[in-house]
Amino acid sequence: MANTEARERLRQHFLNAQESDHPIKWNELYREGFIPWDKGLPSAPLAEALARRDLISEPPVAASGSGKQRKRALVPGCGKGYDVLLLAAFGYDTYGLETSELALKGARETEEKHGGDEVYRVRNEEVGKGKVTWITGDFFKDDWAKSLGEEFDGTFDVLFDYTFLSALPPTLRAAWSLRYSQLLAPTGRLICLEFPTYKPINSGGPPWALPPSVYMAHLPRPGKTLEYDDQGGIVDAKLGEPLSNGLVRIAHFQPQKTHADGYDADGNMTDWVGVWAHPILE
């Protein structure tokens, strides 16, 4: 986020707003041109994770009974689409999902004006570039997924979360974790760029504070409502065991570089990357 003043304006914009009104509130900000979270470029940590074969072992194009099949990626809350275009450059058929029509208008403009930029170059000529699709819809509902056609099996091979969870009120975290567990393909990967990790947990939002412990609590317990204390922290003693349909964190690291907002005043990186998968069943 650009600065303290911008963060406070954003917090005030959503203060006392009902969850059902949040899509309208986000669209209002795009209409006003107040989008301090917009970086104007894709996430370097995402590119780093996608290039690591120890994390993403399966190629974006795989052989199937009908020939070669391109794998799918999804970016919920994609904004102006920078990370969608990056995933496509790595070879994935990529879907950018937004509740804001104005955000997707900006995403289409990004694709038209900058889709050929060096940062979106094809990473592997043999694999080629994936198809980009922009979708208006509610992440928590099924209608947008059903519109993708009969060939769509309801899952994605790569999911990327950055500034999406931080935009959601904490009351939606149980639903957020459940939805990701449903959308992730059996051998897929959920990549979370954890931000903002540095904010006090009682400072409100959006963006809501997201220390790594939030991901570690919710993703292994999809759909479970967790108890928080009066300061906004998770009550660890009441977490309970991970659920059978919970995701497993297979990697957690600080990237080589990240967006400017991912560093503190002393230049220390505060962003983390978590990579999640379904458990391997024996």
Domain annotation covers residue 184: yes
Structural domain boundaries enclosing 52: 4-277
* Number of other residues whose CB lies within 10 A of the CB of residue 261: 18
Q: What's the rounded Cα separation, in Å, for the pair 235 and 232?
A: 9
Domain annotation covers residue 29: yes
Domain annotation covers residue 235: yes
Question: What pLDDT, on the 0 to 100 scale, is given for residue 55?
Answer: 96
Domain annotation covers residue 64: yes
Question: What pLDDT, on the 0 to 100 scale, is given for residue 151?
Answer: 83
Which residue from 82, 84, 100 is spatially nearest to 92, judged by alpha carbons?
Answer: 84
Measured between alpha carbons, how far is residue 277 from residues 62, 69, 100, 165, 250 in Å? 19, 21, 29, 18, 7
Domain annotation covers residue 182: yes
Domain annotation covers residue 52: yes
- Average pLDDT over every residue of 12-16: 94
- Average pLDDT over every residue of 161-169: 97
Residue with tokens 């099924």: 142
Summarize pLDDT for 116-146 with one digit per residue, the tens.
999 999 999 999 999 999 999 999 999 999 8
Please report which confidence band the pLDDT of residue 68 belongs to, taking 50, 70 and 90 as the band edges.
confident
- Average pLDDT over every residue of 180-193: 98
The CATH number covering residue 176 comes to 3.40.50.150
Question: What pLDDT, on the 0 to 100 scale, is given for residue 2?
Answer: 56
Is 282's pLDDT higher than 60? no
Please report which confidence band the pLDDT of residue 39 belongs to, taking 50, 70 and 90 as the band edges.
very high
Is 150's pLDDT higher than 90? no
Domain annotation covers residue 212: yes
Q: What's the rounded Cα separation, in Å, for the pair 136 and 72?
A: 17
Look over the chain and give the mean of its residue pLDDT values, rounded to a whole number: 95
Number of structural domains the chain divides into: 1
For the full predicted model, state whether its pTM sits above 0.85: yes
Domain annotation covers residue 282: no
Is 280's pLDDT higher than 90? no
| Cα-based angle 267, 269, 270 (whole degrees, multiple of 5) | 125
